[in-house]
Structure 1
Amino acid sequence: MKGQPAGPQRIVCLTEEPTETLYALGAQDRIVGISGFTVRPPQARREKPKVSAFTSAKVEAILALKPDLAIGFSDIQADIAAELVRRGVEVWIANHRSVEGILDYIERLGALVGLPAEARAYADGLRRGLDAVEAQAALLPRRPKVYFEEWDEPIITGIRWVGELIRIAGGDDIFPELSVEPLAKARILANGDPVVERAPDIILGSWCGKKFRPERVAARPGWGAIPAVRDGELHEIKSPLILQPGPAALTDGIGGIAAIIARWSQRQARSGN
């Protein structure tokens, strides 16, 4: 007779990526609470109570769910984690920042809930998808310089897994040196001059929690000289698809980036540039 699956049985997901991963592994029944910012998978919003945001949480509501594990991400949720720990909840705060880190996170989470084989198979499938994108990108006639902006006031850029996805999709991130910085405050640009100087061919925007406004970006002092602005190559990648270090970034997120880069490259080839 098959017993209860191993690992925690009542999980609160403080960000979206553990929710999406657990659904993909068939462990969604373990989830008792989710982040209010969760949009993937869509049914999670319908089925699960929303008990947290990025930097705050309804601690009493979480405790009422009697979780045996809460899962969050990074220093941004340190205060939530500390309060839950003080109240007797076991907490796992992951801090993965790279594409390989995301894949490793999926496997670690799978092991934690007693589904290591399923998690390994899922991660391997995501790897194959990335390999296919990279192989297709290798056929493009030109690689664009790409600027990715995750916030506008102040300007923040250089998030590591996004830069890696840009490379896999056939482009080159213009601020690769910032990718080693895990904290957003270390990736703030004092002003827009460095972007103007590095002259990106494509600008991708994903402002966490608000709509990207390309007209505002284009109107910044001196930015009219940037090739991306001159050619109208300013594009939004929805933040749930790229700013969460989980499956979404490795599927729909990179898919959106790859499509933009492919269209740019093909136009350049047709124009003889």
Structure 2
Amino acid sequence: MPDTSSGVATLGPQRIVCLTEETTEWLYLLGQEARIVGISGYTVRPRRARQEKPRVSAFLDGKIDRIVALEPDLVIGFSDMQAALADKLIRAGLNVLVTNQRSVAQIFGTLRLVAGLVGCNAEAESWISACQQRHHDIAAEAARWPRRPRVYFEEWDEPMISAIQWVSELIGIAGGADVFPELAGQSMGRDRVIIDALEPARRAPDLIVGSWCGKKFRPERVAARTGWHDVPAVRDGELHEIKSCDILQPGPAALTDGLAELHRLCARWSARQA
């Protein structure tokens, strides 16, 4: 952590508002939670942040007056979907940083960026190195399997939206194969909408993983879709939920718990094929 024993002020922003959960989780992991003065109302990682920090935003909008009153020297958000919120905050005279990471590599890059802002480069590199080693170990284990499960990951149900890039990449690391790899590179959700409701069934996924972006996944509804009864995942009861806070936040959670859950599902499926 930055040395303050000499009485020199800690470098970097001192009062940070985090508009999304992944920045809050990362700053806590770095031991820099004292800098956080406001968080997203969707924050659940770490759970204690909800008791320790005021909740001042949703995802698409926030309490502008309350955020301004906190006198932040930096507001950090994520994605083009927060552009309107960022615009309001900038017009209110605040410094705003909005990142737009979409891949695993970009997530690591963003973690480094935020760590650099608070003077925690060494701590960040230690965490990232350990995380990347774990990814390598998981991928090496999965490479020994005789067959990789085909995975349909559903980010939303109406309309059906398939996996964003970092989720698709994590499926690959975990030992699976995304059945919609051609859509994964599309950064906008609207460009990953599956128009033909039978197309996922035609691609015959062995596993169906739902993470409906904040609402509970309903596997029975998926299994009951017209024309899906012969899908291997439906036939074998392989429909599973990973909570969106563990996989759809482009930060530490996805790289650790989200990947671990994907790997558990893929490994269990693979073991059953032996």
More moved, 151-160 vs 189-198: 189-198
Indicate whether 1:262 and 2:267 are aligned: yes
- Indicate the residue corresponding to 1:240 in structure 2: 245
Query: What is the SS of the residue equivalent to 2:229?
Result: helix
For structure 2, which runs of at least 5 residues remain unmatched after alignment? 1-5
Q: Please, which of 149, 156, 160 is the counterpart of residue 161 of structure 2? A: 156
Q: Distance in 2 between matches of 1:40 and 1:67?
A: 21
Query: What is the SS of the residue equivalent to 2:208?
Result: strand
- Indicate the residue corresponding to 1:103 in structure 2: 108
TM-score (norm 2): 0.96
- Indicate the residue corresponding to 1:34 in structure 2: 39
- Indicate the residue corresponding to 2:188 in structure 1: 183
- Indicate the residue corresponding to 2:3 in structure 1: none
**Corresponding residue pairs, total:** 269
Cα shift readout 1:48-106 (whole Å, capped 9, x = no counterpart): 00001111111111011000100111011111100000001101100000111111111
C-alpha displacement at 1:46, in angstroms?
1.0
- Indicate the residue corresponding to 1:80 in structure 2: 85
Q: Please, which of 7, 11, 17 is the counterpart of residue 6 of structure 1? A: 11
Identity of aligned residues (%): 58
Indicate whether 1:199 and 2:182 are aligned: no
Instruction: Provide the alpha-carbon RMSD of the alignment.
Output: 0.9
Query: What is the SS of the residue equivalent to 1:67?
Result: coil
Query: What is the SS of the residue equivalent to 1:130?
Result: helix
Q: Distance in 1 between matches of 2:240 and 2:7?
A: 50
Conserved 8 A contact 1:55-1:77: yes
> Post-superposition, which runs of at least 4 consecutive aligned residues in structure 1 deviate over 2 A?
none
Q: Distance in 2 between matches of 1:259 and 1:116?
A: 31
Give the residue type in structure 1 aligned to 2:88: E
Q: Please, which of 138, 142, 146 is the counterpart of residue 147 of structure 2? A: 142
Q: Please, which of 123, 128, 131 is the counterpart of residue 123 of structure 1? A: 128
Conserved 8 A contact 2:19-2:40: yes
Conserved 8 A contact 2:214-2:243: no
Query: What is the SS of the residue equivalent to 1:135?
Result: helix
C-alpha displacement at 1:139, in angstroms?
2.4
For structure 1, which runs of at least 5 residues remain unmatched after alignment? none
TM-score (norm 1): 0.97
Aligned pairs for 1:226-237 (under 5 A) are 226-237=231-242
- Indicate the residue corresponding to 1:169 in structure 2: 174
Q: Distance in 1 between matches of 2:133 and 2:7?
A: 33
Query: What is the SS of the residue equivalent to 2:168?
Result: helix
Give the residue type in structure 1 aligned to 2:151: V
